[in-house]
Chains A and B, each alone.
Chain A
Amino acid sequence: ILNVEQSPQSLHVQEGDSTNFTCSFPSSNFYALHWYRWETAKSPEALFVMTLNGDEKKKGRISATLNTKEGYSYLYIKGSQPEDSATYLCASFSGGYNKLIFGAGTRLAVHP
């Protein structure tokens, strides 16, 4: 995998549903994996920075896991709320720690 890839591209869920997204990244020369919550035309909000294989981080109803050997990370949202609606971006450093490459994002819409 040469780029950071995210799936699905978009997701529509009902309030209260739990959901998850996938981020795939180059596993060679891995340095760190970032997750951001982003509303269009605003600064991305940092959710997690993950560096260790097997890492699992949690922030309220949102959690993330990391597998650096196979090059993927999952973001989970438990009991989705309408205010969770946003684009969730993951990013990985490419070729060391200087160049942070973002995936295209997963656009989440939570319907009341």
Chain B
Amino acid sequence: SQTIHQWPATLVQPVGSPLSLECTVEGTSNPNLYWYRQAAGRGLQLLFYSVGIGQISSEVPQNLSASRPQDRQFILSSKKLLLSDSGFYLCAWSVLTVSGNTIYFGEGSWLTVV
């Protein structure tokens, strides 16, 4: 069965420090991978998505970057965190099937920038 792991679950980082959130998927190959963020009082905002190794599409200009070094690994990074980067980050994956394109989410990571 397919599973998705996302870590760390919670993170408190000072302003200006780097960030690395990691997501790995098991039990499938060549998935689409996504990073979403929920900022305070808002819905889920798509940050990045990837359709293959090394292929990253950025949805919003921001202080973050993403990388996909392996087929089932998706990393969200920042060189210098801002206060506005605080929020709840969700990794997700999907594969196209005959019944549609179901999205599966990780457990999420709470980032607090202080």
Contacts and interface: CB of A to CB of B under 8 A. Distances in A.
Interface residues of B, number: 28
B99 A99 contact: no
A95 to B, nearest CB: 10
Interface string A39-78: 0111110100101000000000000000000000000000
Nearest to A49: B100
B57 to A, nearest CB: 7
A100 B108 contact: no
Contact of B103 (A6, A40, A42, A100): A100
B36 A98 contact: no
A5 to B, nearest CB: 11
Contacts of B36: 102
Given A97-B101, A99-B57, A43 B106 contact: yes
Interface residues of A, number: 26
B74 interface: no
Interface string A6-36: 1000000000000000000000000110100
A93 B108 contact: no
B77 interface: no
B96 to A, nearest CB: 6
B102 A46 contact: yes
Contacts, number: 62
B93 to A, nearest CB: 11
A108 to B, nearest CB: 14
B107 A40 contact: no
Interface string A73-112: 0000000000000010101010001111111110000000
23 contacts: A32-B101, A38-B44, A42-B107, A42-B108, A43-B90, A43-B107, A43-B108, A44-B44, A51-B100, A91-B44, A91-B103, A97-B101, A98-B32, A98-B51, A99-B49, A99-B57, A100-B34, A100-B94, A100-B101, A100-B103, A102-B36, A103-B43, A104-B43
Interface of A: 6, 31-32, 34, 38, 40-44, 46, 49, 51, 87, 89, 91, 93, 97-105
